Structure 1
Amino acid sequence: MTESPKRRSLELYTKEFYSACTLGGIIACGPTHSLVTPLDLVKCRLQVKPGLYKSNFSGIQSIFRNEGAGKTFTGLGATFIGYSLQGAGKYGGYEYFKHFYSSTLCRGDPETIHRWRTSVYLLASATAEFCADIMLCPFESVKVKQQTTMPPFCNNVFEGVNKIYKSEGIAALYKGIVPLWCRQIPYTMVKFTSFERIVEYIYSKLPMKKSEMSALQQISVSFTGGYLAGILCATVSHPADVLVSKVNSERKMTESMMDATKRIYGKIGFMGLWNGLTVRIFMIGTLTSFQWLIYDSFKAYIGLPTTGH
């Protein structure tokens, strides 16, 4: 990893370093996902009931007009808590597993690490996301219930968790874990790997080395790379995102995950897996770019190098 133009205040790959990256992930993911809750609300409702709104903007207008301004942020609490936990596991875990795989599989050899860097990025991001989703899943289940149930399923995230747990047991909070993994793991693999390679390409085309650039210049590269990576990962993970919403909303407790998926797919078909793609590309592109902006700004602020070569 290239040295930052700022003096480091933390030593790389220590407990303090991973703690800082974990905190950076919380700051990057919790607030950004929360800000786009209105878009996520419309997207989830359209996935469950296509044609409910004429467009994303008309959907927000309809909710504002018919349900009140506060209802446009339905699911905010579950979103903030769930994605803060997920961000902690995703970013902090990615930094840990990237170093772990580089040290073990590549034995710390710089040439081997460079040659196999894409594989390291893919493995590290997949492992980190697998763990992060275990923390996210209960809150994602509550969020989808809140956003797709009329009348409202619950008044707040804690009431929602308690209601699901008491009526259906803890398994109900994790009934969407498999489609969540199917959505989030490919998403994160593309998000982190494409970001690393895009940023690497941008730096290779610039007239100066990364080590010679200011923190602001480096963060600008992170923002650009993040948006391009966001477009790619939104497209790759969208079919699974639709299934997560459908399964959390429609799966019967007596159904296996496979049976529920087959039934839902039989009802919506292949084209139904792409409902809401346009808004998701816009939402995830914006989310991803700002997450990398916030995460790398935080790293630069505390004296760590920004992500990427």
Structure 2
Amino acid sequence: MALAENLRQSLIPGFLYAPRALAEERMLGAGPAAASFPALVEKQRSFVIPSPSEPRKKIQMYSPAFYAACTAGGSLCCGLTHMAVTPLDLVKCNMQIDPSKYKSITSGFGVLLKEQGVRGFFRGWVPTLLGYSVQGACKYGFYEFFKKYYSDIAGPEFASKYKTLVYLAGSASAEVIADVALCPFEAVKVRVQTQPGFARGLSDGFPKFVKSEGPLGLYKGIVPLWGRQIPYTMMKFASFETIVELIYKHAIPRPKDQCSKNLQLSVSFAGGYAAGVFCAIVSHPADNLVSFLNNAKGATVGDAVKKIGLWGLFTRGLPLRIVMIGTLTAAQWVIYDAFKVFVGLPTTGGVAPAAAPAGLAKA
């Protein structure tokens, strides 16, 4: 009778979360555990039993799940950051195409505001978001793959000794693939942003572009895009990895694995911004070419050089692009590494590239 009263007062019957053997004996009504069961129930009434929780399964480095996480993180960081800087990108593209009208950063914003209103600052955001999401997925996912692949080919000793070459080769290989995914979106984006009235966005701009230029026209700018993006990405990854390694080596008095996650993400931001400045300078001439070719029907590289000039290729719109790319690159590395931390992976950089056999100790 006392046992029944105790059980009625319990929110959840104690035998449901009692040890398995004890529960079985109680349900069978036999064994020495049955006699002690009322005392156990009374003891359990004095505190709340926590819900069982399964620990998050750790992602194994260089497993399919690892590359999937890096791909998702890359898509997230590139798509969101490029969409966020659409107003800067819009002014930059128009300064490259029509410098007589868009003479400076401030006047460029003024012209856009006057002619198109506030909504005009985000023209082309859809092809920007989608294009750079697929590009980021390929860029980061394949970079992690090729970095490991080339490290395995080189072997532990050479991968550590020539790690910068590993970073350069891995990032270049990844970007070749990423640009094939990006190019159609980039072509439509530039046309939408630099030709008011051409289209509202991707949905109507894509078929209109294909009708005007043909399907192959979507890849008219692939070579200049490679010329812009491959040096950019090589600089982005190699300089980031090197800068982060130097920060951990000379500026922080303890090993990376002993630093808090917030400190590691701060290092990612600093390394990303510095890398972004270098990226903007290296890739700027090709960026001018991409904007020119995608804006003018039937234009060639020779036409661009003749009209813009060599000095213009290196300098037109550069200050704005340094600000844009520096901020963009820093934000990308923070988002990417924050996502890796979220899924239980270490942040990028600070150690030599992993050289092959799984299970070997890594520096």
TM-score (norm 2): 0.79
In the alignment, which of 2, 21, 24 is matched to residue 73 of structure 2?
Answer: 24
Q: Deviations over 1:232-281 (max 9, x none)?
A: 010000000000000111241xx6xxxx1112201221121120000000
- Structure 2 match to 1:167: 212
2:173 counterpart of 1:127: yes
- Structure 1 match to 2:325: 284
Q: Deviations over 1:170-200 (max 9, x none)?
A: 1010100000000000000000000000000
- Structure 1 match to 2:256: 210
Shift of 1:56: 1.3
Q: Looking at CA atoms only, which structure, 1 or 2, has the larger radius of gyration? A: 2
Q: Which residue identity lines up with residue 53 of structure 1 in the other structure? A: Y
Q: Look up the SS of the partner of 1:102 in the other structure.
A: helix
**Equivalences for 1:52-201 in 2 at 5 Å?**
52-104=101-153, 106-107=154-155, 109=156, 111-150=157-196, 152-201=197-246
- Structure 1 match to 2:269: 223
Contact 1:94 1:128 (8 Å CA) reproduced: yes
Q: Aligned partners of 1:165, 1:55: CA distance in 2, in Å? A: 32
Q: Look up the SS of the partner of 1:178 in the other structure.
A: helix
Q: Structure 1 stretch 153-162 or stretch 129-138: which is displaced more?
A: 153-162
Q: Which residue identity lines up with residue 302 of structure 1 in the other structure? A: V
Q: Structure 1 stretch 261-270 or stretch 212-221: which is displaced more?
A: 261-270
Q: Deviations over 1:71-124 (max 9, x none)?
A: 1111111100000011001111111110111112x13x2x22111111100000
Q: Deviation above 4 Å: which 4+ runs of structure 1?
A: none
Q: Aligned partners of 1:222, 1:72: CA distance in 2, in Å? A: 29
- Structure 2 match to 1:3: none
Contact 2:240 2:272 (8 Å CA) reproduced: yes
- Structure 1 match to 2:279: 233
Contact 2:179 2:222 (8 Å CA) reproduced: yes
Q: Aligned partners of 1:81, 1:286: CA distance in 2, in Å? A: 20
Aligned identity (percent) is 53
Q: Deviations over 1:38-95 (max 9, x none)?
A: 1111100110111313421332232122212111111111100000011001111111
Contact 1:8 1:304 (8 Å CA) reproduced: no
Q: Look up the SS of the partner of 2:291 in the other structure.
A: helix
Contact 1:34 1:76 (8 Å CA) reproduced: yes
Contact 1:161 1:173 (8 Å CA) reproduced: no
Q: Aligned partners of 2:227, 2:106: CA distance in 1, in Å? A: 29
Q: Look up the SS of the partner of 2:239 in the other structure.
A: helix
Shift of 1:158: 2.1
Q: Give ranges in structure 1 of 5+ residues lacking alignment.
A: 1-6
Aligned residues: 293
Contact 2:95 2:108 (8 Å CA) reproduced: no
Q: Which residue identity lines up with residue 294 of structure 1 in the other structure? A: I
In the alignment, which of 272, 286, 289 is matched to residue 243 of structure 1?
Answer: 289
Shift of 1:287: 0.1
- Structure 1 match to 2:309: 269
Give the superposed CA RMSD: 1.3
Q: Give ranges in structure 2 of 5+ residues lacking alignment.
A: 1-55, 351-363
Q: Aligned partners of 1:261, 1:53: CA distance in 2, in Å? A: 22
Q: Aligned partners of 2:307, 2:133: CA distance in 1, in Å? A: 34
Q: Deviations over 1:158-179 (max 9, x none)?
A: 2111112223221010100000
Q: Aligned partners of 2:132, 2:66: CA distance in 1, in Å? A: 21
Q: Which residue identity lines up with residue 299 of structure 1 in the other structure? A: K
TM-score (norm 1): 0.92
**Equivalences for 1:35-50 in 2 at 5 Å?**
35-50=84-99
Contact 2:95 2:104 (8 Å CA) reproduced: no
Q: Aligned partners of 1:193, 1:73: CA distance in 2, in Å? A: 32
Q: Aligned partners of 1:24, 1:266: CA distance in 2, in Å? A: 41
